[in-house]
Amino acid sequence: MVEDPELLRRITYEELKTLALAYPYAPNLRYLLAIKARQIDHPDAGQNLATAAAYSLDRTRLFMLTAPQMIAPQQILAPEEVLELKPIETVKRELEALAPMAREENINGQSFAASAPTEPPVIDEPKAPVEPIISQADTVVPSHTTNTSMDFDTWIGSFNPPVLKKNEVSSIPHPKVTPRGPVRQELADDEYENATEPPKTQGIAHHLAEKSVTENQDVVSETLAKLYAKQGYRDKAAQMYARLALLFPEKSTYFAAEIDKLKK
């Protein structure tokens, strides 16, 4: 019965259960009781299967007996295409038959290529240099701005009369001296001394210029700072160098050195 479970249809469920209870440790009787309960769809089929698994020595065998037999789907393979190779002699005969046609096509192609007009070679002409077109809007006209600022020495010199060179002084024609009396000679000497005496306004103009620059705090120049230093106004000279360092950052190192000299 174990090898052929279909024979269990000849025995009743109660008979198998009585035998299983009489021999509780017989695994084969537990197998048969579980299979019989599954065949007749008995309510205790699940309980019998669990009991048979507990007493089983080979659960794989129990699974094979109790599991429903299912037909596995078989994979149907498509028929393979078989390439039939032609005999070599047949292939040679076909190639020999096609050889004259290939020669004719080759000759026709060569004749057509010979009759086709050849195009003249294209020669690249040198390109003329393209001159940049400058529009009137792009032309930059330098603006002639008058520089109203002047150096301190130039400004001071504008108050002084022009100094004549020696050649210019000597080139002035002197009147011929005629012999005169003693009185007239003294008068002529006094007039000559008064004419050759330098003007006294030079020192006054220089003092006025220095005073006007000293009172005007907006005037900033390196020459004025040096003038302050020469006159003993070291604090004013240091302030002037500090303002120059702010106006001209590229010379700040030089102005800082001058300030250190004044402090020493």
The 10s digit of each residue's pLDDT in 137-193 is: 444 444 444 444 556 667 666 665 555 555 544 455 555 545 455 545 655 565 555
Choosing from 23, 42, 66, the residue where a domain stops is 66
What pTM value is reported for the model?
0.26
The single residue listed with the structure tokens 């940049």 is 132
Choosing from 66, 83, 116, the residue where a domain stops is 66
Choosing from 66, 93, 111, the residue where a domain stops is 66
- Domain assignment present for 208: yes
Structural domains of the chain, count: 2
What residue numbers bound the domain in which 208 lies? Answer: 202-264
- Domain assignment present for 154: no
- Domain assignment present for 173: no
Each residue's pLDDT tens digit, 226-251: 888 888 888 888 898 899 989 888 88
| Stretch 114-132: mean pLDDT | 57
pLDDT above 60 (res 198) = no
Provide the terminal-to-terminal Cα distance of the chain, rounded to the nearest Å: 130
Contact present, 65 and 96 (Cβ < 8 Å): no
Contact present, 47 and 40 (Cβ < 8 Å): no
